[in-house]
Amino acid sequence: MTVTKILNLLKEEERYQENTINLIASENYPEKIILQTYSNIISNKYSEGYPGKRYYSGVKFVDEIEAIAIEKAKQLFGAEHANVQPHSGTQANMAVLFAVLNSGDTILSADLGSGGHISHGNKFSFSGKFFNIVHYNLDESTNLINYEKIRELARKYKPKLIIVGYSSYPRKIDFSKFKEIAGEVNSYLLCDIAHIAGFVCTGLHQNPCSFADFVTLTTHKSLRGPKGGIILCKNKYAEQIDRMVFPGIQGGSLNNIIAGKAICFELALKNEFKKYIQTLVDNSRVFYQSLIKNKFDIVSGGSDNHIILIDLRNKNIDGHAAQEVLEKANILVNKNLIPFDKNSPVKPSGIRIGTLGITTRKFSKKDIIKVADIISDILNNLKDENKILEKRKIVEDICKKYPIYKE
Ligand SMILES: *Cc1c(COP(=O)(O)O)cnc(C)c1O
């Protein structure tokens, strides 16, 4: 009974994903070949340790796969050392923090409203519980990074670690300025490129690997790989980082996911992948220009990547309500804090949209404009249930043109 139920729900999910326009900026669709690694029986194996230094026998193929994943990760990002075992981006960050900090040490990082991640010191996360957190914000007039303000905070608080990296920042980041600041106050620098990893490895965003102490990322966002995290660092930190991932904070690694990561890195090294990342940016521009035409207020006025942050205050609707009504029309977005938001994360003033999913599905520019118009139409007519149903039909028709996995 339960088995049938679960299998049916999984089938339903497949149909739902095909019939939904997914604008959640952290989600993407990996190649089928990567999905196939998820269910491989190599996941049955225990492989605590690292290639050539395992605590279990029978891991010769696991060793080969992980060694390839490590080599490809280093090649892709130009890094000295890679640990490909973190189960998620949060765990990658956790390993770095626990590797170099003692409890009570000071971290300087962005707050949630500026687009920082929970694992950067939010009080509900491990990162906020063990360490002394000082947050920096964006510039109040431009909603851009204010490097001088961050320099002042660094001088004042002398953090042991500075974290830079965002979940909802639509603009480029000058990591080298953060390096300068970290150098001045002698603190470690962690660059969290979870969202922009695909931009960094293709040269479409500044790559911090040559100068940052640590770089963490997720493989499932712009990299189009399996759900997971990795850590890149200088050789001098390799042992410290590896020992903190295992046995520090994780047990056995997910061998099937590591196989998927290896394939993902290989695909990201190809020329087509750079074109894909460029298309993400082009599609963002088409999207936010249509939204601006529809009188939406775009935080920072636009986007240099796949992320568009919409300030909904001029539309008299909060992010939560917008997310809910769009879901009824099979359009998925997520509610998001905007810089200096007066509302709580439960009912924030904005929504975040991203172009990863629709770019992977190869949406045409014309259809992207159509989607922006539909969003506008729905948010301007919240109570009109008939209109919402009518829009859902249109959304489903658009989706039929762009199958994800069913060809
Ligand atoms: C997504 C994200 C992470 C980690 O995400 P997980 O869900 O833990 O894999 C970390 N940092 C940033 C900036 C992110 O956007």
For the chain (length 407 residues), average pLDDT per consecutive 10? 95 97 98 96 96 95 98 98 98 98 97 94 94 97 97 98 97 98 98 98 98 98 98 98 98 97 98 98 98 97 98 96 97 97 95 98 98 97 94 98 89
Verify that 292 and 327 share a domain, yes or no.
yes
CA distances from 330 to 139, 264, 290, 397 (A): 35, 29, 20, 11
Look at the chain and report how many structural domains it folds into.
2
**Residue 138 counted as domain residue:** yes
CA-based nearest residue to 326, from 403, 404, 399, 380: 380
pLDDT digits (tens, 9 = 90+) for 250-307: 999 999 999 999 999 999 999 999 999 999 999 999 999 999 999 999 999 999 999 9
Nearest protein CA to atom 2 of ligand 1, as residue: 194
Contact 42, 256 (CB under 8 A): yes
Whole-prediction pTM: 0.97
Put the strands of the sheet holding 81-83 in their side by side order: 81-83, 229-233, 214-218, 188-192, 161-164, 106-110, 132-136
Angle at 294 (CA atoms; ends 290, 297), nearest 5 degrees: 90
Cα–Cα distance between 242 and 48 in angstroms, integer?
Answer: 11
Contact 341, 403 (CB under 8 A): no
The distance of Cα 187 from the centroid of its chain, to the nearest Å, equals 25
Nearest protein CA to atom 15 of ligand 1, as residue: 167
Q: Would the CB of 305 count as within 6 Å of ligand 1?
A: no
CA distances from 156 to 151, 185, 186, 289 (A): 9, 9, 13, 40
Nearest protein CA to atom 3 of ligand 1, as residue: 89
**Residue 295 counted as domain residue:** yes
Verify that 143 and 45 share a domain, yes or no.
yes
Verify that 197 and 284 share a domain, yes or no.
no
* Residue 234: predicted pLDDT: 96
* Residue 1: predicted pLDDT: 82
Contact 294, 104 (CB under 8 A): no
Partners of 136 in the β-ladder: 110
* Residue 407: predicted pLDDT: 65
Q: Which atom of ligand 1 is nearest to the CA of 193?
A: 13
Query: For the chain, percent helix, then strand, then coil, each to nearest 5?
Result: 50, 15, 35
Q: Which atom of ligand 1 is nearest to the CA of 26?
A: 1
Verify that 187 and 54 share a domain, yes or no.
yes
Verify that 209 and 289 share a domain, yes or no.
no
**Residue 5 counted as domain residue:** no
List CB contacts of 257: < 8 A, sequence separation 6 or more: 37, 38, 87, 226, 227, 228
Kindly give the distance from the C-alpha atom of residue 302 to the centroid of ligand 1, in angstroms, as a whole number. Answer: 22
Kindly give the distance from the C-alpha atom of residue 199 to the centroid of ligand 1, in angstroms, as a whole number. Answer: 16
DSSP string, 21-50: EE--TT-----HHHHHHHT-GGGG----EE
Verify that 60 and 202 share a domain, yes or no.
yes
* Residue 84: predicted pLDDT: 98
The distance of Cα 378 from the centroid of its chain, to the nearest Å, equals 27
CA-based nearest residue to 94, from 207, 246, 296, 198: 246
| DSSP at 336 | E
Kindly give the distance from the C-alpha atom of residue 194 to the centroid of ligand 1, in angstroms, as a whole number. Answer: 6
Structural domain harbouring 291? 271-400
Which letter, b or e, does each residue of 208-217 get, where b requires 16 or more Cβ atoms within 10 Å of its Cβ?
bbebbbbbbb
Verify that 250 and 304 share a domain, yes or no.
no
Verify that 296 and 260 share a domain, yes or no.
no
Here the CATH number for the domain that contains residue 201 is 3.40.640.10
Nearest protein CA to atom 6 of ligand 1, as residue: 89
Structure tokens given for 121: 């010191």
Angle between helices 147-157 and 175-184 (to 10 degrees): 20
